[in-house]
């Protein structure tokens, strides 16, 4: 089934985006707390400087892939979450500008201003991405034409007339915020040394407990809120592989960071993110956007583009992404090791 192949490929793109841009978002979240002096903040920025733009390309390329493979999903979700998406755009603009323009002027007001924008936009993006994922799990009130529109909030209840923000999606948002902050922590620990590294390490150890707590809560709540999850896992027991990955990642983070195996701690965090995302996607399957109205939700098959285009797409997507992975490996190797001050 070519639709399922593309479903997996889009999921890989999204996971790639979350793992890669996740650590530079996380670095943005924590840098206001762990980097105290101007040189320290500069080091955090240097650690992501050569790669953040490439990481964000995963969002653009992932969005493009979603667009051509599942046009009904792309158009419904993007117009339905209109206001949140526009805010994501504004935050991405502010964040990109803050990273690129910060170093242009040496001034005691210029740099702290952009640091604040960088930290704030990173934090809000993490929150909104989490809330977006929460919306997909909760489902949306699809109309008969396959579209919908929901406001930013209504009564903060995930009922029949939901908003983009309700207590459930805000909970997922808070979880995403914490998880990406930890992911960024491990990156900063990996790329720096001295006081900055020590402070990030200590911060990471505390954050880890928050992540464990959030993981437990959102797992229980999501199973109760979206009955499809339980059904999928009981129908296909092999699916437990995905939460197992997340669990292994969570344990790996703890063990590795305690032994100061910083690379393994970071990789464990990647594994945790992949495990959590794939578990979610698996739990919602075969839906890609469940419905809470009487209309059926969007599924892998009814949202997909016709097969001819999907087969053609494989012919350019595979070599294209192979090249992209080669570029990424090249850049990360080129800029490997600790960053200088």
Partner 1 sequence: MDSALALHRLHFAFTITFHYLFPQLTMGLALLIVILKTLALRTGNEHYNQAARFWVKIFAINFAMGVVTGIPMEFQFGTNWARFSKNAGGVIGQTLAMEGVFSFFLESTFLGLFVLGEKRLTPRLHLLSAFMVFLGSWLSGFFIIATDAWMQNPVGYKLGSNGEILLDSFRDLILNPWIQWQYLHNMIAAVVTASFVMASIGAFYLLTDRFPEHARIFVRTGVIAGTVAMILMLYPTGDGQGRMMADHRPVTLAAMEGLFDTSAGAPIVLVGQPDTDNLKLDNPITVPKALSFLTYRRWEAEVKGLKDFPRDQWPDNIPLLYYSYHIMVGLGTLLILLMVSCAWALWSGRLYRSRPLLWALLLALPFPYIATTAGWMTAELGRQPWLIYGLMRTSQGFSSHVSAGNTLFTLMGFMGLYMALGILFLFLVHREIDHGPSREAAAELSGVR
By CB under 8 A, residue 341 contacts partner 1: no
Q: Contact region for partner 1 (CB under 8 A) — 62-70, 192-200, 204-212, 246-254?
A: 62-70
Both tokens assigned to 79? 């117009």
Q: Contact region for partner 1 (CB under 8 A) — 34-42, 53-61, 176-184, 221-229?
A: 53-61
Contacts to partner 1 from residues 146-185, by CB under 8 A: 146-149
Helices 194-225 and 167-191 cross at an angle (nearest 10°) of: 150
Minimum CB–partner distance for residue 147 and partner 1 (Å) = 5
Contacts to partner 1 from residues 119-148, by CB under 8 A: 143, 145-148
CA distance 166 to 99: 31
Pick between residue 74 and residue 233 the one whose CB is nearest to partner 1: 74
CA distance 22 to 184: 7
By CB under 8 A, residue 86 contacts partner 1: yes
Beta bridge mates, 289: 298
- What is each CA distance from 122 to 19, 37, 40, 207, in whole angstroms? 14, 19, 18, 17
By CB under 8 A, residue 272 contacts partner 1: no
Q: DSSP string of 94-128?
A: HHHHHHHHGGG---TTHHHHHHHHHHHHHHHHHHH
Minimum CB–partner distance for residue 122 and partner 1 (Å) = 15
By CB under 8 A, residue 76 contacts partner 1: yes
By CB under 8 A, residue 90 contacts partner 1: yes
Minimum CB–partner distance for residue 212 and partner 1 (Å) = 34
By CB under 8 A, residue 339 contacts partner 1: no
Beta bridge mates, 140: 291
Count of residues engaged in binding partner 1, rule: CB under 8 A: 65
By CB under 8 A, residue 338 contacts partner 1: no
CA distance 137 to 168: 10
Q: Contact region for partner 1 (CB under 8 A) — 68-76, 173-181, 191-199, 225-233?
A: 68-76
Pick between residue 33 and residue 90 the one whose CB is nearest to partner 1: 90
DSSP 8-state class, residue 165? S
Using the rule CB under 8 A, which residue among 8, 60, 216, 241 binds partner 1? Answer: 60
3-state helix, strand, coil in the chain (%, to 5): 75, 0, 20
Cβ–Cβ under 8 Å, residues 164 and 151: yes
Using the rule CB under 8 A, which residue among 276, 292, 305, 339 binds partner 1? Answer: 305
Minimum CB–partner distance for residue 280 and partner 1 (Å) = 21
By CB under 8 A, residue 82 contacts partner 1: yes
CA distance 131 to 127: 6
By CB under 8 A, residue 16 contacts partner 1: no
Among left, alpha and beta (phi > 0; psi -120 to 50; other), residue 146 is left
E strand or H helix that includes residue 52: helix 52-69
Give the residue among 298, 324, 335, 305 at the shortest CA–CA distance from 145.
Answer: 298
Pick between residue 8 and residue 255 the one whose CB is nearest to partner 1: 8
Cβ–Cβ under 8 Å, residues 289 and 297: yes
Cβ–Cβ under 8 Å, residues 44 and 27: yes
CA distance 218 to 200: 26
By CB under 8 A, residue 53 contacts partner 1: yes
By CB under 8 A, residue 4 contacts partner 1: no
DSSP 8-state class, residue 338? P
Using the rule CB under 8 A, which residue among 16, 80, 163, 204 binds partner 1? Answer: 80
Q: Which residues bind partner 1 (CB under 8 A)?
A: 49-51, 53-54, 56-57, 59-65, 67-69, 71-72, 74-80, 82-83, 85-86, 89-90, 92-94, 96-97, 100-101, 104-105, 143, 145-149, 305-306, 308-309, 312-313, 316-317, 320-321, 323-324, 327-328, 330-331, 334-335
């Amino acid at each position: 089934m070519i639709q399922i192949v593309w479903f997996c490929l889009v999921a890989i793109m999204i996971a790639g985006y979350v793992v890669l841009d996740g650590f530079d978002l996380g670095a943005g979240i924590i840098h206001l707390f762990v980097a105290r002096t101007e040189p320290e903040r500069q080091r955090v920025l240097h650690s992501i400087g050569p790669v953040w733009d490439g990481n964000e390309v995963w969002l653009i390329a992932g969005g493009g892939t979603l667009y051509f493979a599942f046009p009904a999903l792309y158009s419904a979700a993007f117009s339905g979450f209109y206001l949140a998406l526009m805010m994501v755009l504004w935050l991405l603009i502010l964040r990109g500008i803050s990273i690129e323009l910060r170093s242009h002027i040496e001034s005691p007001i210029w740099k702290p201003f952009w640091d604040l924008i960088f930290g704030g936009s990173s934090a809000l993006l993490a929150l909104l991405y989490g809330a977006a994922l929460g919306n997909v799990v909760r489902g949306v009130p699809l109309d008969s034409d396959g579209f919908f529109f929901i406001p930013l909030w209504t009564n903060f209840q995930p009922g029949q007339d939901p908003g983009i923000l309700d207590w459930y999606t805000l909970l997922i948002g808070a979880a995403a915020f914490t998880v990406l902050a930890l992911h960024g922590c491990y990156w900063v620990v990996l790329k720096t040394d001295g006081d900055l590294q020590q402070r990030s390490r200590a911060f990471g150890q505390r954050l880890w407990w928050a992540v464990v707590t959030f993981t437990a809560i959102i797992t229980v709540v999501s199973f109760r809120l979206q009955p499809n999850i339980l059904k999928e896992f009981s129908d296909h027991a092999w699916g437990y592989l995905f939460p197992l990955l997340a669990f292994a990642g969570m344990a790996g983070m703890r063990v590795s960071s305690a032994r100061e195996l910083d690379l393994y701690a970071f990789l464990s965090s990647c594994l945790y993110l992949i495990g959590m995302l794939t578990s979610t996607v698996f739990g919602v399957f075969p839906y890609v956007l469940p419905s809470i109205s009487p209309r059926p939700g969007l599924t892998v098959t009814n949202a997909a583009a016709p097969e001819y285009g999907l087969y053609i797409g494989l012919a350019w997507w595979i070599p294209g992404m192979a090249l992209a992975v080669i570029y990424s490996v090249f850049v990360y190797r080129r800029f490997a090791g600790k960053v200088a001050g």
